[in-house]
Amino acid sequence: MPNIGKVKQYFDPNKVSNKFSDPGSAIGDLFTNIVTNILLVVISIGALLSLIYGGYLYISAGGNAEQAEKGKRVIIYTVIAIIIAMASYIIYRQVTEGIPWGVII
């Protein structure tokens, strides 16, 4: 016979909230999801364009050390920005959705 007590400690139907019972909550969640998705698309496109620009500067330097260095800096700063954006999105999702059972990603 399975131990149902362990299942109950992880899933308590009394603690589950129904987001559709409060229309304001559903609209707020929809707005937040739209803004979050738009920001992700804008950041992704910006990062891609920045990487292309940095790569173009680096490749077209043609012996010009200053332009090659500028291209490298653009690429490095873009990668750093992508890492910061990903980390902030992960933190945002963990805070807004909660951390289930203490497991982080």
44, 52, 45: which is closest to 71 by C-alpha?
52
Q: Where are the domains of the chain?
A: 21-100
Q: What is the pLDDT of residues 48-90, one digit of tens each?
A: 999 999 999 999 999 999 999 999 999 999 999 999 999 998 8
Q: What is the pLDDT of residues 1-56, one digit of tens each?
A: 455 544 444 455 555 554 444 555 666 677 777 888 888 899 999 999 999 999 99
Instruction: State the pTM of this model.
Output: 0.65
Report how far apart, in Å, the C-alpha atoms of 68 and of each of 47, 48, 77, 94 are: 19, 19, 14, 39
74, 35, 30: which is closest to 52 by C-alpha?
74
